[in-house]
Chain A
Amino acid sequence: GNSVTQMEGPVTLSEEAFLTINCTYTATGYPSLFWYVQYPGEGLQLLLKATKADDKGSNKGFEATYRKETTSFHLEKGSVQVSDSAVYFCALTRNTGNQFYFGTGTSLTVIP
């Protein structure tokens, strides 16, 4: 089957710290991988994506590399800001384009 496993939170970091949120997946075929972010009081927004092995998605200083050999798509940021406080969801979709499979989400709080 298809599934996503994320590291559990909550995660609390000081401003300018390095962030890693682990994500591994199980999928049939060759999925596309996504990170979505949900800021407090807002809906889900796409943060970045990668559609094939070894692709790197990046946005707003966040990066994630599609690693087929380890079935992983870990999210990283070199220096977090208070404004990065949100819940982060890893997700996959098979390239037939229908449903997304989401992880359980990781809550990040960045303190000044």
Chain B
Amino acid sequence: GAGVSQTPSNKVTEKGKYVELRCDPISGHTALYWYRQSLGQGPEFLIYFQGTGAADDSGLPNDRFFAVRPEGSVSTLKIQRTERGDSAVYLCASSLNPLAGGSEQYFGPGTRLTVT
């Protein structure tokens, strides 16, 4: 079956612009996660959705970052007034049953965001 997909695969934008990154999780997965991976680092958690609601947004770095999942499937990560420090690979993951111990997360290929 289809895995987690993310679009676009690459995004180059100018400082100060607004960007949207899209994630399409595995069908039937109720949990969706966004992570950010900087060069040479491991992924860092941004936000977790259970269904339509954000269950944990403690990883969002500031109020320029926002994410939605209006129908409990596709999610969009939105970044306002982008800064050069936002340049990174943004990863999306989904999980079938996050409340079960050891539940695996399935990762998408990521969107590489470059802010010039």
The answer on a CB contact under 8 Å between B104 and A97 is no
Q: Which of B20-28, B63-71, B76-84, B93-101 contacts A (4 or more CB under 8 A)?
A: B93-101
> In the complex, which of the residues A44, A52, A105 contacts B107, with contact meaning CB atoms closer than 8 Å?
A44
What is the bound-complex CA distance between A79 and B96, given in angstroms? 34
* Cα distance A57–B35 in the bound complex, in angstroms: 25
**Contact indicator A98/B48 (Cβ below 8 Å):** yes
Contacts of B113 in A (CB 8 A): none
Asked whether B85 is an interface residue with its Cβ less than 8 Å from the other chain, the reply is no
Taken together as a complex, chains A and B put the C-alpha atoms of A101 and B58 apart, in Å, by 13
Interface residue A104 (Cβ < 8 Å from any Cβ of B): yes
B97 proximity list for chain A (CB < 8 A) = 97
The count of residues in chain B whose C-beta lies closer than 8 Å to any C-beta of chain A is 31
B56 A32 Cβ-Cβ under 8 A: no
> In the complex, which of the residues B98, B101, B110 contacts A98, with contact meaning CB atoms closer than 8 Å?
B98
A:91-112 near B, CB below 8 Å = 91, 93, 95-105
Complex interface: chain B residues within 8 A of A69 (CB): none
With both chains docked as a complex, state the minimum distance between the C-beta of A75 and any C-beta of chain B, in angstroms: 14
> Which one of A44, A46, A99 has the greatest number of beta carbons of chain B within 10 Å?
A99
Residues of A bordering B, CB below 8 Å: 4, 32, 34, 36, 42-46, 49-52, 89, 91, 93, 95-105
User: Which B residues form the contact surface with A (CB < 8 A)?
Assistant: 4, 31, 33, 35, 40-45, 48, 55-56, 59, 91, 93, 95, 97-110
Query: When A and B form their complex, which 6 residue pairs have the shortest distance between CB atoms, in order from nearest?
Result: A102-B42, A97-B98, A51-B102, A32-B102, A99-B45, A44-B107
